[in-house]
Amino acid sequence: MLSLGNLGDEKRDYLLRDLPYHLIEAGMWLKLAEVFAESEFVLARAKKFSFAAIHADSAAACQSTLLTPEWAAAFELWERFLRWRIERLRPVPEAYAGEVVNEFLPGAPEPLATALAPLRDRFLASSLFHLKKVFGPPALGAGHVGTVYGAAFSPDGRFMVLGSDDWIVKLWDTQQGRLLAECVGHRGAVRSVAYSPDGRLIASGSDDHTLKVWDAATGKLMADCLGHDGFVTAVAFSPDSRIAASGAATVKVWEAETGRLIADCGGFEAAVDALAFSSDGRLVAAGSRDKAVRVWEARSGRLLSEFPGADTVHDVCFLSGSHLVLSGNYDRSVKISDGETGAQVAACAKTRESIKCVAASPDGQLV
């Protein structure tokens, strides 16, 4: 049995976070199935990251090119099984063993049935009162099984990408409501997503401190941008498909297709929640919880201006065809400032509640 009791906190956290992915990367399918049979490990992982992590493990396994046909068929059924139970198991992960024994194992395919048998034996030998559910939804479905934090349309409006705390990025056909691809590989909630201006690429930022770039047609991973020191809460594409991403109190600019770091823009004292490129791609603006807006040259990372947002800055955008920055603030104000000098140009009358998002019309006349 896999025991976590004798491990220090650092080793325990490492195993809970990374063990399933190491087994998937190595194609060790029997060992992975044995991990699913270890209810102690599953419950500890679920409590640390939410039960969405357990489903993400199965989804990642299904995406592997190392799967044999036998294991591919078994994990496909396992992923469907977990998908429909995640909302029940999220608040009560202790019900995991009972759900597996009562709902999956009676018709489980080999070799998964044999690997999960120890879970059944331990469950039936326990003093728990066993109940069997005799109705419920079929084991299929394509939607997210967690809260959706990010959404973006393709430039032509035909496709949409969603990011969720189930750790998965999903691509959809908006005209048919059809799931096109699942991008699996994040190890934390996906907080932000964006389409490239040419519609070829998708960027996603996650609680796992990474920015990932995917092929918008296939969902294939194109680049893994590492180096952020916190949750990646905002991502934005430039007109020429560079990417800006915020991680904790920093902003980094990346080359999308290669994952090469172009510029590192620091200076914040709190998390950055908002990012935007100017329409010519020369400037990048960021709004932070430290009550400031900062603007840099996107290629060099040189700070051009820094100006107060009056309170936490929830959102920023550039007025089309200019370097004027529109910022929405917690203090209910909307301000327009010159991104190159930081000088305030205009302020809109305060609203009744804090401003969560801002946008400007294509002609730059309305905000």
Domain boundaries, the chain: 9-125, 148-348
- Residues of the chain by 3-state class (helix, strand, coil), percent to 5: 25, 30, 40
Pairing of strands 313-318, 324-329: antiparallel
Tokens matching residue 70: 């036998």
Q: Supply the pLDDT for residue 5.
A: 62
Residue 266 CB neighbours (<10 A): 12
Rounded distance, CA 240 to CA 272, Å?
Answer: 23
Q: Would you give per-residue pLDDT tens digits along the chain (367 residues)?
A: 566 667 677 888 888 888 998 999 999 999 999 999 998 899 898 888 888 888 889 989 998 889 999 999 999 999 988 888 887 787 778 888 888 888 888 888 999 999 999 998 888 776 554 444 444 443 334 567 678 888 999 999 899 999 988 888 999 888 887 888 888 888 888 999 999 999 999 999 998 889 999 999 989 999 999 888 888 989 999 998 899 998 777 889 999 989 999 988 877 777 788 899 998 999 999 888 887 888 989 888 898 988 876 678 888 889 888 898 888 877 788 888 888 888 888 888 777 788 888 888 888 788 8
Rounded distance, CA 55 to CA 166, Å?
Answer: 7
List phi, psi (to 5°) of 219.
80, 10
Residue 244 CB neighbours (<10 A): 28
CB burial of residue 110 (10 Å; 0-12, 13-18, 19+)? exposed
Q: Supply the pLDDT for residue 212.
A: 95
Q: Are 234 and 192 in contact (CB under 8 A)?
A: yes
Q: At what angle do helices 52-63 and 9-26 cross, to 10 degrees?
A: 30
DSSP bridge partners of 160 = 153, 172
Q: Which residues, including other chains, have CB under 8 Å from residue 68's CB and lie 6 or more apart?
A: 29
Q: Are 243 and 213 in contact (CB under 8 A)?
A: yes
Q: Supply the pLDDT for residue 137.
A: 42
Helix (H) or strand (E) holding 365: none
**Domain 148-348 part of CATH 2.130.10.10:** yes
Q: Which residues, including other chains, have CB under 8 Å from residue 328's CB and lie 6 or more apart?
A: 287, 313, 314, 315, 316, 334, 355, 356, 357, 358
Q: Which residue has the tokens 């932070």?
A: 288
Tokens matching residue 45: 């992982």
Strand residue runs (E) in 266-333: 272-277, 283-288, 292-297, 303-308, 313-318, 324-329
Q: How far is residue 126 from each of residues 97, 119, 120, 121, measured CA to CA in Å? A: 11, 11, 10, 9
